[in-house]
Amino acid sequence: MKIKQITPETVEFIPDRIEEGVLYISDRYHTAVHKCCCGCGKEVVTPLSPAEWSVKRNSNRVSLWPSIGNWSYPCRSHYVIQDSRVIEAKAMTNRQIQRVKANDRADKAAQIRRTNHAKEVAAIVSKPNAQITPTHKWKPSMNWLQHLIRWWKSL
Ligand SMILES: [Zn+2]
């Protein structure tokens, strides 16, 4: 790793000129950008979301999790940013890369499902005439329970 230290910089928009050794974090766009720490100069964009990356800032130190795997770049570098230090991670084999990608897709699909569900709920709630009362929650009635008991006894 050519770059061993990285400092966080909070920005609204990702600047045109990205400096090496700086992790630009845009809370507004839920994105962080930095130049590949191997020194190849490629820009690495990491979306910040529960299914992607998360940043932890502590004054002028930063951690980014999970690891950065630049499989699609010629350098194929793999590292972790922890407490502003760039820690080289093990190089991955093609098979491992495929597995990581498959897991990523599954994670994303799960997040999209959760998001869509939240949207559906929000759509219902925002309808002015929607009747959202506790009675909408499924609650077995006495009648229903009696049926169940009768059925149970008949077995
Ligand atoms: Zn690189």
Ranking 60-64, 101-105, 131-135 by mean pLDDT, the lowest is 131-135
The domain spans of the chain are 7-91, 93-128
DSSP string over the chain: ----B-EEEE-SS--SSPPTTEEEEETTTTEEEEE-TTTT--EEEEEBSTTSBEEEEETTEEEEEEEEE-TTSTT--EEEEETTEEEE-PPPPHHHHHHHHHHHHHHHHHHHHHHHHHHHHHHHHH-TT----GGGS----HHHHHHHHHHHHH-
| CA 89 to centroid of ligand 1, rounded, Å | 13
pLDDT given at position 72 = 86
| CA 50 to centroid of ligand 1, rounded, Å | 25
- Judged against a pLDDT cut of 60, whether residue 114 lies above it is answered with yes
- Judged against a pLDDT cut of 70, whether residue 147 lies above it is answered with yes
Q: pLDDT-derived band of residue 127, with 50, 70 and 90 as boundaries?
A: low
- Render pLDDT for 55-95 as a digit per residue (tens, 0 to 9): 999 889 999 999 998 988 999 899 999 999 999 987 767 77
| CA 2 to centroid of ligand 1, rounded, Å | 9
| CA 39 to centroid of ligand 1, rounded, Å | 6
| CA 72 to centroid of ligand 1, rounded, Å | 10
- Judged against a pLDDT cut of 90, whether residue 112 lies above it is answered with no
Ranking 18-22, 72-76, 85-89, 128-132 by mean pLDDT, the lowest is 128-132
Mean pLDDT of 40-50: 93
Q: pLDDT-derived band of residue 134, with 50, 70 and 90 as boundaries?
A: very low
| CA 51 to centroid of ligand 1, rounded, Å | 23
| CA 55 to centroid of ligand 1, rounded, Å | 20
